Amino acid sequence: MVIEHADRFGLAQLHQLRGRIGRGAAKSYCVLMHGGKVTEEGQRRLDAMVRTTDGFQIAELDLELRGPGEFFGTKQAGIPSFRVANLIRDRQLLEAAKREAAWVIAGPNREISQEEINRALKHMRALWQNSYGLVEVG
């Protein structure tokens, strides 16, 4: 397979196209071609395609390059307007915060009362409702 102007394609697209060949026993090739001038981001995408066939690594680089887009909205790429965290750099911290939040929501214990949990949930629901116009179902 020959892909012309490969530097203009996204990582996911290139990875998907490359995956369409070489499925049988016969040897196959995917040739990525580009024009004379390649942007820095385009070069990073091409380098990633040459360096790995691991879809997870490609997805992480794609997230790093394009950003995750909006959680509540229509923007499919770009960096969200977080004030403190960076989804790539702070991944472990964000995962730890998620675990802590799940522990709090799981129910009262000797460190947090049901009243404190209810107050926090009421506050968060109001905040998210006002910010994103969400409704609660069920």
Q: Which CATH number characterizes residue 26's domain?
A: 3.40.50.300
Range of the domain at 23: 1-66
Tell me, yes or no, whether 111 lies in a domain. no
Name the residue with higher pLDDT: 53 or 89.
53
Considering only 20-24, 38-42, 108-112, which range has the smallest mean pLDDT? 20-24
On whether residue 37 sits in a domain, the answer given is yes
Q: What is the pLDDT of residue 82?
A: 58
Whether residue 20 is contained in a domain is answered as: yes
- Interatomic CA distance for residues 131 and 32, integer angstroms: 44
In Å, how far from its chain's centre is CA 17? 20
Phi-psi group of 25: left, alpha or beta (phi > 0 → left; psi -120 to 50 → alpha; rest → beta): alpha
Residue 74 inside a domain? The answer is no
- 7 in a domain, yes or no? yes
Residue 41 counted as domain residue: yes
CA distances from 126 to 37, 69, 98, 119, 135 (A): 50, 24, 20, 11, 10
CA distance 67 to 85: 13
At 134 the pLDDT is 60
- Rounded CA separation 61/67 (Å): 10
Average pLDDT, the chain: 82
Radius of gyration of the chain (CA): 22
Total domain count, the chain: 1
18 occurs within a structural domain? yes
Closest by CA position to 75, among listed 84, 67, 87, 63: 67
Report pLDDT digits (tens) over 60-71: 888 888 776 665
pTM score of the predicted model = 0.53
Least confident of 40-44, 47-51, 119-123, 132-136: 132-136
Is 93 domain-assigned?
A: no
